[in-house]
Structure 1
Amino acid sequence: MSNLMASVNQRTNLVGQNRLELLLFRLNGSQRFGINVFKVREVIQCPDLTEMPGSHPCVRGIAHLRGVPVMVIDMSQATGGKRLEDLSAAYILVTEYNRNTQGFLVAGVDRIVNLNWEQIMSPPQGSGKAHYLTAVTEIDNKLVQILDVEKVFAEICPMNEEVSESVKSKPSAVDLTQITVLVADDSAVARNQVKRALGAIGVKVELANDGNEALQWLMKKAEELGDNFVREIPLLISDIEMPKMDGYTLCSEIKANENLRKIHIILHSSLSGVFNEAMVTKVGADQFIAKFHPDELTSAVQKWLNAG
């Protein structure tokens, strides 16, 4: 498995080209699932786990990785499937979400595939709100489901989503209630986290499920509002990895559009790595913030809304 995750530096060349590498894995059965390689620090065979008394039922224990304790979540059980029983043949995907390192227990790891984000589609309409998908794609004529790991993690390890009173009470040079911020993210959990945080300071929020939807919405509003566009919609908060068009490509498209380029952009993602900061400048975004800290995000929003 070490070879599977090798040459991460080479993969950063995909960034900004609307491409991704997807790590395919299995839970119970032959159905394949996917996760963005950039979210995976390493893949290891499941070691002996130390039980955590009183923990969530989907937490199988703690893995000690080079002396560092990492919580291990049963991905199958956490997404409504059967508990993985044969840990001797299982693997752990060591990931970073919400500034934490955690492991996801899976039955098997297949391979890495190189795709274009345009090949990644949103879940079918009518799927409801209970599913754990952010997107689907087709590989080898078979459906691959891309899991909303942010939703899984939020359900097992709920975090404080409240904006502090000190941030709420910050004075503003503009009337925040007259401003709309567009939030683009393929995770329903992430979209709603941001919406609640901005609602706490009185900012109206519009939501988009992917980069292409966000771009189309902005172009329509720019045409409708004319010279008032940037005054009424001065800020976009965008995830990086999204179906159809990723956040980096969305930024580049916005900055290349005469009617949109003055809008401020915050990239808000659970993707880690030093390349994020470099890409902020390259694609013309104003700031990168790692998910999810309500005070940090809301303070950044206040900063850019008052920047004019």
Structure 2
Amino acid sequence: MPQPIDTVKRTIAEVVAARKTQMSPGGLFVEAFAKDGFGTSVDYDVTITDSLTSSRRKPRYPSRNMLKVVNLSADPQDFYWHESPPRPDDPAVDGADLRREAANHFHRSPIPPLLTTTAWVQVPDTLWEDPVSFAQFIDYRLVVRLATAENHTILRGEGGLLGMPELGRLTDPGPFGSTILSACNEVEQMGSTADGLIINPADYYRLLGSGTLMRDVEDNGVFIVRTRLVDPGTAIVGDFGHGALLFDAGRSTIGFAEPPPGTFAEPGVALRAEIWERVVVNLPTCFFVVTL
């Protein structure tokens, strides 16, 4: 059964409420800055994009929230399982005509090397003299920039979902009148449930304004992430809850650093934030990049 969308949102709300009782990444950095000045570098024993909260009445969730996160610092592991579709020369498998997944192959693979996600901001001159504003700038600008960079890692970067050739491609809406609904059906025909949709905002609002598809999909328990990092005219549909993992180092760093050439339009004091993570897909037959 699909997880109700309200349950997902309640879970996120509970996590956000718990984080409000903890000192923010910006607060911790400003506390260290009071002692170490422009040599400050802070290591966090959490992934700070997971600390990101929003005061918006209309939240927009990052891709991270779609995935089951494995904190390798808290729960170390070396391998993961995954499946692959049947090969053309495979012998017939009993029952695979009705249960397609019965013909899949099972695999055990080492966790691939985690990728570095980096974000930069330029600190407005003398902002560091106001601890409250400086902490807010880190929390709501640097960490937000890092969350955008994380979306790129998960979706478009090396090892990102959009670069995985094993994910299905679907262009035919079939009898459903929508490739999104057609993909949801294909996932269920594989014995799973399409519980997530990642879509460009331009397509989300176009579909929202031209009918009830977006509302119907969300009401049916599909968690929707809107991001510019999916090309307009396409979307990702899949079983994110059971079919993919985000391996996470469970640590982060923020510090003053010299940015690479071309990072900013003018010189200035810069902060760099970094996290380490990698997405893998256990059930590639339960994911589709669809053409809208």
Shorter chain as denominator, the TM-score bin is: under 0.3
Question: Which structure carries more strand by proportion?
Answer: 1
TM-score by length of 2: 0.26
Question: Which structure carries more helix by proportion?
Answer: 2
Q: Which has the higher contact order (CA 8 A, sep 6+)?
A: 2
